[in-house]
Amino acid sequence: MFANPAAAVAAFSGPIGFQIGSCNNLRGPTFSEQDLGVAKSFSIISSRDINLKFRTDAFNAFNHPSFNSPGTLTSYDDITNPGQFGQLTSINGTYRVLQLALRLEF
């Protein structure tokens, strides 16, 4: 059935109760992005309350790709174009980003 995209589109029907309209019929790939952060504070001069803070953040720490929905539209799955049915062609989100910070607090 999926070897012929036109037959897959023709055979598609929503679950019982959702035959009216096409809202949320299909779901695209999941979006997964984990961010991590670590911070450490060092006391430089404790009598004057002067501290040095080091912080590192990792955005999309595991560098997990999150793909856009298949079809010509990026916000939902487009089953009206059988030529692109089920094809993941672009990435949504960012690559891994690391950020380092050093802060002197007084």
pLDDT at position 52: 97
3-state secondary structure of 11: helix
The per-residue pLDDT for range 5-39, each reduced to its tens digit, is 677 766 766 666 655 555 555 666 777 889 999 99
Q: Let me know if residue 17 belongs to a domain.
A: no
The per-residue pLDDT for range 38-63, each reduced to its tens digit, is 999 999 999 999 999 999 999 999 99
Query: pTM score > 0.85 for this model?
Result: no
Q: Let me know if residue 38 belongs to a domain.
A: yes
Q: How far is CA 53 from CA 23, 48, 101, 105, in A?
A: 49, 15, 8, 7
Number of domains in the chain: 1
Range of the domain at 58: 5-12+33-105
Q: Let me know if residue 98 belongs to a domain.
A: yes
